[in-house]
Every structure is written in structure tokens, then in C-alpha cells.
């Protein structure tokens, strides 16, 4: 926290972490990322998953026409 110049209460319970879960248009999970405290967010993985879901959604939508 000090190295990153982040101010605030980071004590918490130390068990619950965050992350993200991306679902496709079909309602099925497509990508999951579990937070690893102290490590930066894997932005490339997040963007890649979002782009893949978007592209698949566009293809599905066009195929339905």
C-alpha cells in the first residue's frame, strides 16, 4: 500500500478477494479472474475476454437475421 501510495483501511478480514466473471450472450460464463492481492489486474486478459464475447455476440446476431 505504501509503495503504491494508496491511503485507506486495508485491514479487512483478509479472506474475501475480488475479481471478475464475464458471461456470453448465451448466459454461460466465458472467463473468470480471481484477484491475487498485491498483484496488478491482468488488463490484457480482461480486454481479450470482453472482445471475444463481443465478437461472438455480433456473429450470433448476424447469423440470426
Domain ranges of the chain: 19-64
Of the pLDDT bands very low, low, confident and very high (cuts 50, 70, 90), residue 63 is: very low
Nearest to 33 by CA among 17, 16, 20, 45: 20
Query: Do the beta carbons of residue 41 and residue 49 sit within 8 Å?
Result: no
Of the pLDDT bands very low, low, confident and very high (cuts 50, 70, 90), residue 65 is: very low
Of the pLDDT bands very low, low, confident and very high (cuts 50, 70, 90), residue 59 is: low
Largest CA distance in the chain: 55
pTM of the shown model:
0.55
CA torsion angle 22 25 28 31 (round to 10): -30
Amino acid at each position: 500500500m505504501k509503495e503504491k501510495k494508496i491511503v485507506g483501511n486495508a485491514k479487512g478480514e483478509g479472506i474475501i478477494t475480488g475479481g471478475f466473471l464475464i458471461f456470453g450472450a448465451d448466459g454461460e460464463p466465458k472467463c473468470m479472474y480471481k484477484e491475487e492481492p498485491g498483484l496488478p489486474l491482468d488488463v490484457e486478459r480482461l480486454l481479450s475476454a470482453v472482445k471475444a464475447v463481443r465478437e461472438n455476440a455480433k456473429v450470433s446476431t448476424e447469423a440470426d437475421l
